[in-house]
């Protein structure tokens, strides 16, 4: 016996920067409610109602979506908006127009969170969207959603209250899958945002110079682990401008003879902070961060690179080190010799 049931297409767009468990949680509830035949995950090109600063590359967001939604049945991650609009604003009504042409006999469902529900009438051609889709709304907070419009399908569920913006600043394991955390680390995502949130502009610019100098040294000596150099350099000073009580909270126990002042503890505090907040667990990176102020005996090549880069970045003056360019020349030829010579001059200052 034939049925006249229409195909159901669920469209779920967003920045997904990064994709988090709240996104997946919302989709699973929508699937349970709607029972769609196909689900299209559509990362935006540039969203019209959001701040576009520090927006991640579209390829990264697309790949994260593929990783995050791969276990949900009937999901297709689409690059349509990214390829169609490229670096321009992507409007939802145009996406709906496209899918209406692709599936003229289907019912279209547009999934959004309650944050977008409350600003829906600010969307371009929102009336067109309402006429041509059923808008499925899931609450992102504990606030109950109410609507008398039969074009809105409301899902009042127990929400996962987190935003992508928060997770760019601090990639909390509670809200991100292991695959997404690893992807973020492998592609060096959000590091600039994270460190800018913790330091002054001058300290941030110093950090960028240290990163550039460290990579120059690493390439000159053919050190192969450039990703480790990048992370150790970018995170080496995150606790530099922390207050004394914040540093002491991170560093519970320390040798007061070896670390005579609070200033000398900021390397250890930085290592503790990035391990806890940025999911950096690589011991070699953490040691290099920790030892960039006072290095340990027989420290690693990575630690020596970061120590030298910190002391020899371009803004250093003769008050900081007697012959910056001379030391840098030696370090690039022989990291061990250059480190030893530099350390002998610097250690007396602590």
Sign for the pseudo-dihedral over CA of 208, 210, 211, 213 = positive
Bridge partners of 297, per DSSP, are none
Domains and CATH numbers, the chain: 8-168 (3.40.50.620), 190-349 (1.10.3210.10)
Question: How many angstroms separate the Cα of 80 from the Cα of each of 52, 73, 74, 284?
Answer: 19, 20, 17, 41
Residues 198-212 have a mean pLDDT of: 98
pLDDT above 80 (res 3):
no
| pLDDT confidence of residue 54 | 63
Ranking 86-90, 176-180, 257-261, 290-294 by mean pLDDT, the lowest is: 257-261
Lowest mean pLDDT among 142-151, 152-161, 261-270, 307-316: 142-151
Q: Which pLDDT tens digit goes with each residue over 16-34?
A: 999 999 999 999 999 999 9
| This prediction's pTM | 0.89
SS3 label, residue 153: strand
Report d(CA 303, CA 236) in Å as an integer. Answer: 10
* pLDDT at residue 2 tops 50: no
The pLDDT value recorded for residue 314 is 97
The predicted structure's pLDDT at residue 49? 62
What digits encode the pLDDT tens for the residues 267-277?
999 999 999 99
pLDDT at residue number 1: 41
Q: pLDDT, tens digit, for every residue of 117-153?
A: 888 999 999 999 999 999 999 988 888 888 888 899 9
What is residue 9's three-state secondary structure? strand
């Amino acid at each position: 016996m034939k049925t006249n049931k229409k195909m159901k297409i669920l469209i779920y767009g967003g920045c997904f920067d990064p994709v988090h468990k709240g996104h997946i949680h919302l989709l699973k509830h929508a699937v349970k409610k709607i029972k769609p035949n196909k689900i299209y995950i559509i990362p935006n090109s540039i969203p019209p109602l959001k701040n576009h600063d520090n927006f991640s590359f579209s390829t990264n967001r697309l790949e994260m979506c593929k990783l995050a939604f791969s276990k949900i049945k009937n999901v297709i991650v689409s690059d349509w908006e990214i390829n169609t609009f490229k670096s321009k604003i992507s409007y939802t009504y145009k996406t709906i127009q496209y899918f209406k042409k692709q599936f003229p006999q289907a019912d279209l469902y547009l999934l959004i969170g309650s944050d977008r529900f409350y600003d829906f009438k600010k969307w371009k051609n929102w009336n067109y969207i309402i006429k041509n889709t059923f808008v499925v709304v899931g609450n992102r907070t504990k606030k109950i959603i109410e609507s008398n419009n039969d074009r809105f399908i409301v899902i009042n569920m127990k929400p996962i209250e987190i935003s992508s913006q928060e997770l760019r600043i601090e990639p909390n394991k509670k809200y991100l899958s292991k695959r997404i955390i690893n992807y973020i680390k492998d592609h060096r995502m959000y590091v600039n945002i994270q460190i800018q949130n913790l330091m002054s502009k001058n300290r941030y610019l110093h950090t960028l110079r240290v990163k550039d100098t460290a990579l120059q040294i690493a390439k000159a000596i053919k050190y192969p682990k450039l990703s480790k150099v990048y992370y150790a350099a970018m995170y080496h000073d995150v606790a530099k401008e922390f207050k004394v009580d914040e540093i002491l909270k991170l560093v519970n126990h320390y040798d007061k003879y070896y670390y005579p002042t609070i200033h000398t503890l900021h390397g250890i505090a930085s290592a503790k902070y990035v391990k806890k907040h940025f999911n950096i667990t690589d011991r070699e990176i953490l040691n290099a961060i920790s030892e960039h102020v006072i290095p340990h005996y027989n420290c690693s090549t990575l630690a020596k690179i970061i120590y030298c880069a910190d002391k020899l970045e371009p803004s250093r003056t003769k008050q900081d080190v007697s012959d910056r360019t001379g030391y840098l020349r030696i370090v690039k030829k022989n990291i061990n010799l250059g480190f030893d010579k530099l350390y002998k001059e610097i250690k007396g200052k602590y």
